[in-house]
Chains A and B, each alone.
Chain A
Amino acid sequence: EVQLLESGGGLIQPGGSLRLSCATSGFTFGTYAMSWVRQAPGKGLEWVSGISGSGIGDYTYYVDSVKGRFTISRDISKNTLFLQMNSLRVEDTAVYYCAKGAAALGVIDYWGQGTLVTVSS
């Protein structure tokens, strides 16, 4: 059974940093693309960042609003995905979902339960 468990969310002041983690199990972690998708309170979904699966290098991609501030990475030995978030802004407030890519790139077949990040003074 595929499981994705996020942690690391919380309340942080503007300009601060947080590191989100996503512990995974039930699949060959390094094989699949992984992503972070966020949802601001009462709003829709936004695909924030992704990292490619093995075989095509660790290609990473970011939405423009987080480029230069967020860094996605993974530790294959620990089956864990990370999102380092620096220079946080009020508009980064959201539930952050860890997401597993399907065989088709750009499709998400499993989601974590989400972790809430609140950026406020």
Chain B
Amino acid sequence: EIVLTQSPATLSLSPGERATLSCRASQSVSSYLAWYQQKPGQAPRLLIYDASNRATGIPGRLSGSGSGTDFTLTISSLEPEDFAVYYCQQRSSWPYTFGQGTKLEIK
């Protein structure tokens, strides 16, 4: 099973700042990595798939990068609606696995 480790566990930033979230895989997942956002009491929402492709309706301030074992989700300028929990997920091999999440909170 591929283990995904996200860092940091919690990120405290202010609106307008740049956020950088990391996801490291225990073995190469090529570019088969997605990012999801989850707000309290809601289902997750797809943000990025295959490392760098934005899902439909996702604003340009969100971007993904990386390949192999190291990936990054960047939010260039935080908006109030960006504060949430973010999960990475690999689809390189079954079982598909998620990282433990990074909570992005308002400083």
Contacts and interface: CB of A to CB of B under 8 A. Distances in A.
A63 interface: yes
A106 B91 contact: yes
Nearest to A46: B98
Q: Is the interface of B mostly helix, strand, loop or mixed?
A: loop
B43 A106 contact: no
A47 interface: yes
Interface in A63-121: 63-64, 97, 102, 104-109, 111-114
Interface in A28-70: 44-47, 50, 61, 63-64
A81 to B, nearest CB: 15
B98 to A, nearest CB: 4
Contacts of B56: 109
B99 A44 contact: yes
Interface residues of B, number: 23
B44 interface: yes
B95 interface: yes
Contact of B49 (A47, A104, A111, A114): A104
A107 B34 contact: yes
Nearest to B44: A111
Interface string B76-105: 000000000001010100111111110000
B98 A111 contact: no
A102 B49 contact: yes
A64 B60 CA distance: 38
B46 interface: yes
Given A44-B101, A104-B50, A109-B55, A61 B94 contact: yes
Interface of B: 32, 34, 36, 38, 43-46, 49-50, 55-56, 87, 89, 91, 94-101
16 contacts: A44-B98, A44-B99, A45-B38, A45-B44, A45-B98, A47-B95, A47-B96, A47-B98, A105-B91, A107-B34, A107-B50, A108-B34, A108-B36, A108-B44, A109-B55, A114-B43
